[in-house]
Amino acid sequence: MTSTTTKLWGGRFREASDPALAKLSRSEPGYFDMAPYDLAGSRAHARELRRADILDEAELAAVLSGIDQLDADYRAGSVAPSPDDEDVHTFLERVLTQRLGPLGGKLRAGRSRNDQAANDLRLYLRDQSRAVVLATVGLIDALLAQAAEHTHTPAPGFTHLQPAQPITFGHQLLAHAHALDRDAERIQDWDRRAAQSPLGAAALAGSAVALHPELAAEELGYQRVCRNSLDAVAARDHVAEFTFAASMLAVDISRLAEEVCLWASRQFRWVELDDRFATGSSIMPQKKNPDIAELARGKAGRLLGNLTGLLGALKGLPLAYNRDLAEDKHAAMDSVDTLLTVLPAMAGLIRTLKVDADEMRAQATAGFTLATEMADWLALRGVPFQDAHEITGSVVRRCEDLGIDLPDISDGELAAIDTRLTPEVRSVLTVDASLAARSGRGGTSPTRVVEQIDEFAERIVAHRAWAAAYTGPRV
């Protein structure tokens, strides 16, 4: 069918829009992907028009059938926006009017693009947030699988990127899993605030036609209706909050990615990348590069830009709606698309890492990482920790002079530094003793690492159940 332009405004204008205005005003191509969410809102609004007697039963049935067919055609790719369609609302109304005649034009009564646009993005984010959480769970699962293989594998723990104390590699992997778990929780917490329907707010003052917005809200899976019509169309804090949660998730992914880059380096030699999740060099045949990790690290900056750009657009806006708010879709949709690309790639990278446990064990005590064990041993025998710290520092200094590691110093050298350093101190100067001693809740001892893994099973079930329980429109 031949496309014709159907502007949703213009009756009071004497001249056509300048092409420069039309180009600036037209939605970006990706924004038309909101079509299924816009049509979901149109179904709910059509029922509102029936309650207002603007549509009779036969007309409602025809409108709903037309919406369903248009939804199916759009998803199948058999109908697409015209270059003249200003936005998704114009596109869909044009096609419905072409197909239904004047009946298609009735659907606009009692609503505005202002509440439609606000509703579309809320529905999009609430739907896509489930996909983001499930993809995050996929990365957590990969970390848990590796951690389960390395509950007893010693590795050096770092502060300031300097060897600090031995930990288990499983414990380090789980630290990243816990951060990602909080990201998943943060998105779910966001959703409780975002589950408010703006439909019925119309342009800004509320609708004289759609008088039962709570019914439309229920149909679309919302928990309630926005309590103020001005706020309903003007607020984008829920979008900013989502982009913050997305940015925080990206930052946590980036921190994991940075560690993978270190672990895979020849200087660390902790892991080898699977060929399926690595790239090579166009000039150096020997290279195996952690490009997935590097790309993920770089994408974090992109998501931070989405957040700051949106906050910049919001900061000076008067109530109610202003076209500046069109920036919300770029920030939200790009953040979602980026995360749904990065998360599965990172999950595959982590799941397929080949860990060199022997190399990690050999490095676990390098750099005098057992020094704290000696200081603690003295403190547990009544030596003030200030003194224990100084005594142990002297032992480390003597080992450096002799070119040996802490467990290799002789009994005589220990006694010469302090008579309280008896041979029994050697019982704590092993990596396994160090790990076992950290047995408090949340510690790195193998028993506590296994405990963390077991507890994660419940968290994973909860995240998946939250995603599955969503009753709103899904794409």
SS (H, E, C) 391-428: HHHHHHHHHHHHCCCHHHCCHHHHHHHCCCCCHHHHHH
Q: Two tokens at 418? A: 């302090």
Mapped onto helix, strand or coil, the DSSP state of residue 10 is coil
Check: CB of residue 85 under 8 Å from CB of residue 93. Answer: no
Q: Is 389 a catalytic residue?
A: no
Q: Taking the alpha carbons of 346, 350, 356, 359 in that order, is the dihedral positive or negative?
A: positive
Q: Give the integer Cα–Cα distance in Å for 150 and 450.
A: 10
Q: Give the integer Cα–Cα distance in Å for 339 and 336.
A: 5
Check: CB of residue 104 under 8 Å from CB of residue 66. Answer: yes
Q: Is 238 a catalytic residue?
A: no
CA-CA-CA-CA torsion for 336, 342, 345, 348, nearest 10 degrees?
Answer: -90
If you ran DSSP here, which 8-state letter would residue 318 be given? P
CA atoms within 13 A on the CB side of 411: 6
Q: Which helix (H) or strand (E) holds 134?
A: helix 113-149
Indicate which residue of 25, 265, 281, 439 is catalytic.
281
The catalytic site residues sit at 160, 281
